[in-house]
Structure 1
Amino acid sequence: MAHIKLLIWACCLALSTSFAYGLGVNWGTQAAQTLPPSTIVQMLKDNKIDKVKLFDSDHWTVKYFAGTGIEVMLGIPNNQLAKFADDYDFAKEWVKNNVSTHLYNGGVDIKFVAVGNEPFLKSYNGSFLKSTFPALQNVQKALNSAGLGDKIKATIPQNADVYESGNSGPSQGDFRSDIRDLMQKNCSFFKDNNTPFLVNIYPFLSLHENKHFPIEFAFFDGQTKAVRDNGISYTNMFHANLDTLVVSLKKASCSGVKIIVGEIGWPTDGDLYGNVTLAKRFYSGFFKKMATKKGTPLYPGFIEYYLFSLTDESEKSILPGSFERHWGHF
């Protein structure tokens, strides 16, 4: 299995030396045994991966990225959002201890702070709706107060379920009706602070959750009949999904907000569709698409991506499915 997984990276790296520009990876640590940060850093450097997205801000881990040239996105877990929302002084102290302390000459290149992780996911039943936006405001305010606001931005990694278009296509996209006002506030904040919208898009999950989803539409190899929407042809779910977000942002008067794909990947085990064969097919098409440095029909420019995930995580919850423990590339 490990040998086959490495072939996925071979597909990526064989394309070109410059291809990895803009390619990041998520490093989750919910595993019985985790690799030392020094090993992780060397793996990223060896494979020319220049960005890493973390799910916390553990000082012992973050310090290993000093002087590496790897951009780091720190994370704030959902269970801490209420503290950040209720106490600005707490946010200031967190920035001092988890951000500023790493920014000496030759230190860590921190680019973003991810406030929560998919906090508006439907399955959370509104648990973080009241705390996320105030937490976002306080973190960015604390970064500004520390003189870091121009360089480091606070954003929110969002699941693609925050917007929808029904069966009508991307041109009818809009943010979910139950959180539309909240998303308007979030997006206006992003626009005002020159902050990107971070979205997680998983064609695999569309296939896993909907037995009627056309399997060919999950891949990038053009083996499906094009779907026409408002004069645009779509041959894969990713383009259609991201363009639904583009339309949703436009309706929220936030067309200028940059989009970054915070998570994208395919599991190698644990599901009928989660296997090495389909993972290799997905990544082969995805890496070729990324190498073109072209976006989508409605967002044609360069897009940054963070692959999910660097390694398997043996202690992740399997409530969604056993595949949750098999997203690792290595």
Structure 2
Amino acid sequence: MNIHTALARANLGDEVKVVVPCSFDTFVSESNLPSKGHFRTDLNRTMVELLTFLSKQHAPFFVTISPFTTFQENKNVSLDFILFKESAHPHNDSRRIYKNSFDLSYDTLVTALSTVGFSEMDIVVAAIGWPTDGAANATSAVAQTFIKALIDHLHGKTGTPLRPRNPPTETYILSLLDEDQRSITSGNFERHWGVFTFDGQAKYHANIIQSSKDLVNAQNVEYLPSKWCVVNNNKDLSNATASALEACSVSDCTALSPGGSCSNISWPGNISYAFNSYYQQHDQRSDSCDFGGLGLITTVDPSVDSCRFFVGLRTSHSASLQAVHPSCWLVLLLVHMLFLVC
């Protein structure tokens, strides 16, 4: 309300709408049926206050929808149902047929809004995506299937059983890049939502924008030298696990999670992965590959199958204007792509 007041004083109240992104767990449903949808009891008063404010300002309701989390937490929902597969068993709710999880979640929110008197509130899906690592079924192949099916569904403009021919006002794909510092409280997959890897490489093929045919890899990315930090097998490795855990506490080792891309590498390969993550995060400083004498710097890529031992990006502040840091053009790419499906 304070932000809106400030905008109004700057004569921008009608041009700039203040919105509040809400998590997918703000609304629930008994028996997983949209007709039973409602806001959580402990949040109901707050949601009514928020919706009253949004309605007065003619602003939409911003919500996150998380099909991956739904699939993980609900054993009664099949992967085919999440991925819009025609073979999926449909859900029947008061003679309304739901063929995919997205429509079911969306209409659960529609019912929750209607229950508190805001049946006509516009909805924007502020974030929806599929992770590519850190858990079972979090792979690039499954993510590609989901994103393609979601986009085709939205472009069809068929709406949902409760809002036919009235799809979300806007839908935003989560997210541009992986975030190696993102909280993993809800799961190690949280650091792998990116459509692109941290170095700007497309993880899969997808026509996210109608005007383009496919995602394009970043060009001229500047990497650190092709060096990796691995465990020295000639040393006593009895304390190696403790060193690896310490390294993972400040770096990203989520690929080692059960079902992750590096979950199948055996000991001490997983120790080497932890050492290398720490080493690259610290810009390949020689002292960051010590680990009490257990670390060894090598120029032989230790990557195994789908388990990638990454090399960090060059982040020197002395780069010339002609050598723009990759993160800069990625921001520009986001501006151009908007990652917006209307």
**TM-score normalised by structure 2 residue count:** 0.55
Paired position in structure 2 for 1:172: 36
Matched, 1:235 2:99: yes
Residue 326 (structure 1) aligned to one of 176, 184, 192: 192
What is the identity, as a one-letter code, of the residue corresponding to 2:144? Answer: K
Deviation at 1:211, TM superposition (A): 4.0
How big is each residue's C-alpha offset from its partner over 1:58-97, in whole Å with a ceiling of 9 and x where there is no partner? xxxxxxxxxxxxxxxxxxxxxxxxxxxxxxxxxxxxxxxx
Partners of 2:83 and 2:149 within 8 A in 1: yes
SS in 2 for 1:271: coil
- How far apart, CA to CA, are the structure 1 residues paired with 2:145 and 2:4? 40
- How far apart, CA to CA, are the structure 2 residues paired with 1:212 and 1:168? 9
Partners of 1:169 and 1:229 within 8 A in 2: yes
Paired position in structure 2 for 1:264: 128
Deviation at 1:196, TM superposition (A): 0.4
- How far apart, CA to CA, are the structure 2 residues paired with 1:247 and 1:215? 24
Deviation at 1:225, TM superposition (A): 1.2
- How far apart, CA to CA, are the structure 2 residues paired with 1:317 and 1:161? 17
Residue 109 (structure 2) aligned to one of 232, 241, 245: 245
- How far apart, CA to CA, are the structure 2 residues paired with 1:194 and 1:268? 36
Deviation at 1:223, TM superposition (A): 2.1
Matched, 1:151 2:151: no
- How far apart, CA to CA, are the structure 1 residues paired with 2:103 and 2:75? 20
Q: CA RMSD in A?
A: 1.4
**TM-score normalised by structure 1 residue count:** 0.57
Paired position in structure 2 for 1:197: 61
More helix by share: 1
Partners of 2:160 and 2:167 within 8 A in 1: no
Q: Which has the larger radius of gyration?
A: 2
SS in 2 for 1:155: coil
Runs of 4+ in 1 over 3 A off after TM superposition: 210-213
Residue 313 (structure 1) aligned to one of 166, 179, 183: 179
- How far apart, CA to CA, are the structure 1 residues paired with 2:11 and 2:86? 47
Higher RCO (C-alpha under 8 Å, 6+ residues apart): 1
Counterparts of residues 75-154 of structure 1 (less than 5 Å): 137-154=1-18
- How far apart, CA to CA, are the structure 2 residues paired with 1:162 and 1:319? 18
Assess, with a 3 A threshold, how the Cα gap between structure 1 residues 221 and 168 changes in structure 2: closer, same or farther.
Answer: closer
More strand by share: 1
Unaligned regions of 5+ residues in structure 1, if any? 1-136
How big is each residue's C-alpha offset from its partner over 1:261-299, in whole Å with a ceiling of 9 and x where there is no partner? 000000111110101121111112111112213321212
The number of residue pairs the alignment matches comes to 194
Partners of 1:187 and 1:252 within 8 A in 2: no
Deviation at 1:246, TM superposition (A): 0.6
What is the identity, as a one-letter code, of the residue corresponding to 1:315? Answer: Q
Assess, with a 3 A threshold, how the Cα gap between structure 1 residues 153 and 166 changes in structure 2: closer, same or farther.
Answer: same
Percent of aligned pairs with the same amino acid: 38
Assess, with a 3 A threshold, how the Cα gap between structure 1 residues 216 and 175 changes in structure 2: closer, same or farther.
Answer: same
Paired position in structure 2 for 1:54: none
- How far apart, CA to CA, are the structure 2 residues paired with 1:284 and 1:295? 17
